[in-house]
Amino acid sequence: MRNLHRLAMLGLVTVFAVTACTGLAPMRTLKKLRDGLQARDESAVAAVVDFASVKRNVDARVEQRLSEANEGKLLGGIRAAVGERLAARVVEKLATPRGLINMACDGSLKMPPSPPPPCALKGELANSGSEGDARYSADLTLPDGKQLKLVLERQADKQWRVVDMLMSPESFEQLRKSIAD
């Protein structure tokens, strides 16, 4: 009976340890991302962000927003096509390590002066939590006080990577204007 009790306790401790380690892995990834952004380290950012997935997810969301905004409007198709072309430029720049660093540190997709100023990213993480076994999200506070929702997924190699970024339409418009200026 004592051996059964010890075995049960060992099982509980093991389950607790595995759960704790699994729950901490996405937070470690977010910390690496935040540290990479603050250091303006492109290779550190690239190591924890799946930019192909980010581009695909942001492109799809922008296309849907533009389609909904222009549905049933006079010249809506033309407006949507022009809007998609402008939005594609923003997404193309954002979906790179340099673009993400510039957006997070400077609030712009333009190249900073050389040498770049210190990163203004506060790096506060809020509203973090699991969205199932292989998804996790957290809000990152940007220099302008706005939130960027980061969505992470556990990849085939068991590493957590950012696969999507959600920002307010106002923030996206601000980035679009930073390219046009």
Q: Is the residue at 93 inside a domain?
A: yes
Q: Is the residue at 58 inside a domain?
A: yes
User: 128 — phi, psi (to 5°)?
Assistant: -85, 145
Residues 6+ positions from 59 with CB-CB distance below 8 Å = 88, 91
Structural domain that includes position 126: 29-180
Q: Is the residue at 1 inside a domain?
A: no
Domain count, the chain: 1
Q: Is the residue at 24 inside a domain?
A: no
| Residue 72 contacts residue 156 (beta carbons within 8 Å) | no
| Residue 62 contacts residue 87 (beta carbons within 8 Å) | yes
Q: Is the residue at 154 inside a domain?
A: yes
Residues 6+ positions from 84 with CB-CB distance below 8 Å = 62, 63, 66
| Residue 65 contacts residue 79 (beta carbons within 8 Å) | no
**Coil, strand or helix: which one is 75?**
coil
Q: What is the full per-residue pLDDT of the chain (181 aa) written as tens digits?
A: 666 555 545 554 454 444 444 468 899 999 999 999 999 999 999 999 999 999 998 888 877 776 666 666 655 555 555 556 666 777 787 889 998 998 888 877 777 778 888 888 876 777 888 888 889 999 888 877 888 899 999 999 999 999 998 887 777 676 666 655 5
Q: Is the residue at 120 inside a domain?
A: yes
Structure tokens at 139: 């809000």
Identify residue 71 by its one-letter amino acid code: E
Taking the whole predicted model, whether its pTM rises above 0.85 is answered as no
**Coil, strand or helix: which one is 19?**
helix
* Predicted local confidence at residue 17, as pLDDT: 45
Dist CA 33 CA 91 (whole Å): 19
User: 160 — phi, psi (to 5°)?
Assistant: -90, 135
| Residue 50 contacts residue 96 (beta carbons within 8 Å) | no
Q: Is the residue at 11 inside a domain?
A: no
Q: Cα separations (Å) of 149 from 1, 77, 86, 144?
A: 50, 30, 22, 14
Q: Is the residue at 9 inside a domain?
A: no
Q: Cα separations (Å) of 7 from 16, 36, 116?
A: 14, 43, 57
